Structure formats: structure tokens, C-alpha cells
């Protein structure tokens, strides 16, 4: 597929975070961009304001003529009428991951993978690179507060891409630099076993270009494949806190910021500052700094660049702050992600009561990780547990939020329907509130913010 031949492109599920980044790329290339989405989200409204044509009914009569390429996401159901119309009429159709692979193949690709942390690390790396003189393009899995977008167009050959393991999408990428943040079992509805997850990551690593570099978190089960890479002439580095080739040390909270040092064979800083809380974000920052150094970023700019990083929408995002109340929202939907978010809140507010609202995402994930979810939520001082958000799945008999609720040791917990949430929060004001989940819990962010504002006036 020659990208220059694409003058009119159609996206099925254009409002998805990865799909919309591709839509923005093609729009900036001068193509006419059309698409369907189920919901008129804020992101869809932004795309329309940028000049793309979007509709919200699954109706083939709304499809424009002479489409050069159709892009779809596996999140779209197989019985989607528009998707099947395109198939029946012989249009060229590609998955989102395939198209990202085609775009990045001729570039110097930095692909950042991992069960957790990839969106934050990808966004940090893109911001640090661009601030330190490497004008990279970037496809992000979230909305960057610095860029105010999930796509950034650069002038150099470097492209930073989030490498998503869902549906084995990251196997479409052939990076020059690959980063692995974590390999926890997830998407077992796709992979089946933890061993299959690890095998897929190993395949991704083998796709690193000749002479390229693997950077992975110290302690991940990748030592054998690391030796295989070294034997083939590729380079391998590790990162971590108090361990690794890129080592963060003396990690602490000072004045509401993360403070730490970083040492490596390339550069050493005694004092770095990150206005983005949690030890997990220090690990993410260490990986992003390593990427910047390996890609030739201008190092004197790096400490100021790191201090200027403003985060990612729905990744420990401060929605409301006053002396008496704080409201933070996060996309966390895996036990390890809940652990990280709750741990960061506890680190920032050690002497205050932390209340968490969690909406489980997918019946299969709830079934597979109920014990892990319960253990993570037990770290909160109070838990509000909502019903499962099904996304692409049909209900599984016996799988409800009660599966998590009944395993929790925490006694200050309540199972709540979404419709009762606002009344409950009004009657039970929280001091430090976290909302967590990848479903439609984000539709409650604005109402909760308004409630906090009203109570603080």
C-alpha cells in the first residue's frame, strides 16, 4: 500500500484513541477523512472540528463514494453493517494495527509495549525527544496534556508508537528501539494462557531491526531472548528503580513532586523532578529518558523537559484540587494498574482518607483477576464498586462485580449502580477521591467535578 495513493479514507470506530490518531495523521497528509462511531464523544467532536466527516448510525447509505482505504478496529463487532458492506463490495480493508505498521515501517520506529505504563511512557518519550531536539512524530494511546492531542507530526524519520498487545497488534511493528515495561497476564480472552502472552512479546522482540535496541524493565523474564538478541548484534539495556543499566535511585516525594537521581553509562543526574506521582511513573520516566538518550536527544535540556511534562488525560489526572478535597481520575483496569494508582495516591496523601470508585472492564477480565482486583482495592480506605462494563463481551453466567466484592477484606465497601453514584457522593463527601476504569466511568468525571466545585464554594 502506497500512502500517497490514499486520498479518501474511511474509519469504522474513528473515535477510538488509536483510530483517531491515525485519522489525524491522514488528515494532516491531505486526505479526506470520513468515519463512523457509535458515540459522539468529545474526541469525535474534536475530529469533526478539525475537518473530518463523522456519523453515528451504522448505515451503509451514509458511506461516501470512491474510498481508497477502510480502516477498522477489532473492537467493532463482526456483524457491523458498514464493515460487511465494504467487505461485500471488495474495498481494501485493513486493521488499525496494520496501517500503523505500514506507516512506521519506513521510519526509525520507537515502539513502547507492556501490559501497563505504555501510554504514559510513549507520551513521555515523545515529549522528551521533541523537547530535546529530536523532531519525532508520535502515535499516542492517550491525549497528551502537553500536545493536547494523541498524534504529533514531526519532520524527522523517528516515530514513537504505542505497541498494543491486544489482538497481537504489536506484531505489525518492526522497531529500531523497542521498550517493554511489563508483561503481566491480560487479554486472556485473546491469548488463552500466560505463556502465550510471553511468547507474543518474544515474537515482538525478535522483530527489532538489525542493529536495533531492546530496553526492558529489570527483572522481566526476558534474559534468554536478550542473549539471543546480543548474539545477533542487537543491543540490550535494562531499566528500573535501584537496578538496571538505566537506574533511578533515591526516589522520594518532595513538595508534591517525585524527586530522584538517574545513572547510566551515557549520563548521570543527581536530581531530577517529575510532576507526576508514583514510583511506577518514575519507572516510566526512566524508560523514556533512556529512549531519549539512545535516540540522540540533547541531554542538557532533559531535566527541564522532564519537569515540564504535564501527563496524559485519564492517567492520574487531577480533575479537582482544593485544600479540603482532591479528585483524581485514572484509566486503570488491571489489578497491577490499580495497585500503582492507589499506591501513588497513598504516597502523595499519606495521612488522608482515600476513597476509590472502580468500574470493572470486561466479564472475562473480572473472572480471571477477581482476587487481584480485591487485593488492590483493599488498599483503599473506602471502596465504591460499580457494575461491570461489558464493552465487546456478552455476559458470563455467575460473573458480576460481586465476584470482586465478596473477596475483599475491606469492610468499608459498597456495591452501587451507576445511576445511584451521584446521590451517594453528594451524601458521603470524599476527601481524596479516585475514579478508576476503562469503561464509561469517564462520563461521570464532569458531574463529579461539578459536585466538588459546588461543595467548595
Question: CA-CA distances (angstroms) from residue 37 to 112, 144, 178, 215?
Answer: 27, 22, 32, 36
Q: Which is nearest to 67 in space by CA: 56, 46, 78, 82?
A: 82
For the cut 60, the answer to whether the pLDDT of residue 188 exceeds it is no
CATH tag, 317-455: 3.90.190.20
| Mean local confidence (pLDDT), 212-234 | 95
β-strand partners of 330? 436
Question: CA-CA distances (angstroms) from residue 326 to 55, 258, 307, 323?
Answer: 37, 18, 22, 8
pLDDT band at 192 (very low <50, low <70, confident <90, very high): low
For the chain, what is the radius of gyration of the CA atoms? 22
Least confident of 43-57, 183-197, 230-244: 183-197
Q: Which is nearest to 140 in space by CA: 124, 113, 122?
A: 122
Global confidence as pTM:
0.86
Burial class of residue 406 in the structure, from the number of CB atoms within 10 Å of its CB (0-12 exposed, 13-18 middle, 19+ buried): exposed
pLDDT digits (tens, 9 = 90+) for 392-418: 788 999 999 999 999 999 999 999 999
pLDDT band at 315 (very low <50, low <70, confident <90, very high): confident
For the cut 70, the answer to whether the pLDDT of residue 144 exceeds it is yes
Cβ 247 vs Cβ 264: under 8 Å: yes
Angle CA 73–78–83, to nearest 5: 70
% of the chain exceeding 70 in pLDDT: 98
The Cα 81–Cα 318 span in angstroms is 40
The Cα 316–Cα 329 span in angstroms is 6
Over 178-237, what HEC string results?
EEECCCCCCCHHHHCCHHHHHHHHHHHHHCCCCCCEEEEECCCCCHHHHHHHHHCCCEEE
pLDDT band at 447 (very low <50, low <70, confident <90, very high): very high
CATH tag, 3-96: 3.40.50.720
Q: Which is nearest to 451 in space by CA: 431, 432, 429?
A: 429
pLDDT digits (tens, 9 = 90+) for 49-98: 999 999 999 999 999 989 999 999 888 888 999 999 999 999 999 999 99
Q: Does this chain's domain 3-96 share its CATH topology with 317-455?
A: no
The domain segmentation of the chain, as residue ranges, is 3-96, 106-307, 317-455
For the cut 70, the answer to whether the pLDDT of residue 191 exceeds it is no
% of the chain exceeding 90 in pLDDT: 78
Mean pLDDT value across the chain: 93
For the cut 80, the answer to whether the pLDDT of residue 190 exceeds it is no
22-26 LR contacts (CB < 8 Å, sep 24+): 22/71, 22/96, 22/99, 22/100, 22/103, 22/139, 22/151, 23/47, 23/52, 24/50, 24/149, 24/150, 24/151, 25/103, 25/137, 25/139, 25/151, 25/153
Report the relative pairing of strands 326-330 and 8-12 from DSSP bridges: unpaired
| Mean local confidence (pLDDT), 204-223 | 95
Tell me the Ramachandran region of residue 456: left when phi exceeds 0, alpha when psi lies from -120 to 50, beta otherwise. alpha
Cβ 381 vs Cβ 351: under 8 Å: no
User: For the domain 106-307, what is the CATH superfamily, name and number?
Assistant: Mur-like, catalytic domain (3.40.1190.10)
pLDDT band at 457 (very low <50, low <70, confident <90, very high): confident
Amino acid at each position: 500500500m502506497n500512502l500517497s495513493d490514499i486520498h479518501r479514507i474511511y474509519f469504522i470506530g474513528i473515535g477510538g484513541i488509536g483510530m483517531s490518531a491515525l485519522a489525524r495523521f491522514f488528515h494532516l497528509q491531505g486526505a479526506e477523512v470520513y468515519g463512523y462511531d457509535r458515540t459522539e464523544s468529545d474526541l469525535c467532536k474534536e475530529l469533526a472540528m478539525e475537518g473530518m466527516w463523522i456519523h453515528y448510525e451504522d448505515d451503509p447509505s451514509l458511506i461516501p463514494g470512491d474510498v481508497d482505504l477502510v480502516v477498522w478496529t477489532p473492537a467493532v463487532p463482526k456483524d457491523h453493517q458498514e464493515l460487511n458492506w465494504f467487505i461485500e463490495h471488495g474495498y481494501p480493508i485493513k486493521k488499525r494495527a496494520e496501517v500503523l505498521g505500514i506507516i512506521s515501517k519506513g521510519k526509525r520506529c520507537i515502539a513502547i509495549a507492556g501490559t501497563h505504563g505504555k501510554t504514559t511512557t510513549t507520551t513521555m518519550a515523545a515529549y522528551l525527544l521533541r523537547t530535546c531536539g529530536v523532531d519525532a512524530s508520535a502515535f499516542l494511546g492517550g491525549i497528551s496534556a502537553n500536545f493536547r492531542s494523541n498524534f504529533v507530526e514531526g519532520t524527522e524519520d523517528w516515530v514513537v508508537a504505542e505497541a498494543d498487545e491486544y489482538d497481537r497488534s504489536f506484531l505489525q511493528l518492526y522497531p529500531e528501539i523497542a521498550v517493554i515495561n511489563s508483561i503481566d497476564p491480560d487479554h486472556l480472552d485473546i491469548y488463552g494462557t500466560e505463556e502465550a502472552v510471553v511468547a507474543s512479546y518474544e515474537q515482538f522482540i525478535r522483530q527489532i531491526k538489525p542493529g536495533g535496541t531492546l530496553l526492558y524493565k529489570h527483572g522481566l523474564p526476558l534474559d534468554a531472548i536478550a542473549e539471543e538478541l546480543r548474539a545477533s548484534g542487537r543491543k540490550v539495556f535494562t531499566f528500573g528503580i535501584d537496578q538496571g543499566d538505566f537506574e533511578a535511585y533515591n526516589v522520594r516525594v518532595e513538595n508534591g513532586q517525585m524527586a530522584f537521581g538517574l545513572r547510566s553509562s551515557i549520563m548521570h543526574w543527581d536530581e531530577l523532578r517529575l510532576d507526576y506521582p508514583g514510583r511506577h511513573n518514575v519507572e516510566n520516566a526512566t524508560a523514556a529518558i533512556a529512549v531519549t538518550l539512545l535516540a540522540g536527544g540533547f541531554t542538557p535540556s532533559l531535566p527541564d523537559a522532564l519537569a515540564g511534562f504535564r501527563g496524559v488525560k485519564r492517567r492520574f489526572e487531577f480533575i479537582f484540587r482544593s485544600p479540603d478535597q482532591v479528585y483524581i481520575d485514572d484509566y486503570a483496569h488491571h489489578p497491577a494498574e490499580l495497585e500503582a494508582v492507589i499506591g501513588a495516591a497513598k504516597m502523595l496523601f499519606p495521612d488522608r482518607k482515600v476513597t476509590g470508585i472502580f468500574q470493572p472492564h470486561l466479564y472475562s477480565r473480572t473472572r480471571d483477576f477477581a482476587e487481584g482486583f480485591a487485593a488492590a482495592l483493599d488498599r483503599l480506605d473506602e471502596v465504591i464498586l460499580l457494575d461491570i462494563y461489558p464493552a465487546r463481551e456478552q455476559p458470563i453466567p455467575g460473573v458480576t462485580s460481586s465476584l470482586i466484592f465478596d473477596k475483599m477484606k475491606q469492610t468499608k465497601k459498597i456495591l452501587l449502580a451507576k445511576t445511584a453514584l451521584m446521590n451517594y457522593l453528594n451524601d458521603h463527601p470524599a476527601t481524596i477521591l479516585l475514579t478508576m476504569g476503562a469503561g464509561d466511568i469517564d462520563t461521570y468525571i464532569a458531574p463529579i467535578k461539578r459536585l466538588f466545585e459546588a461543595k467548595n464554594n
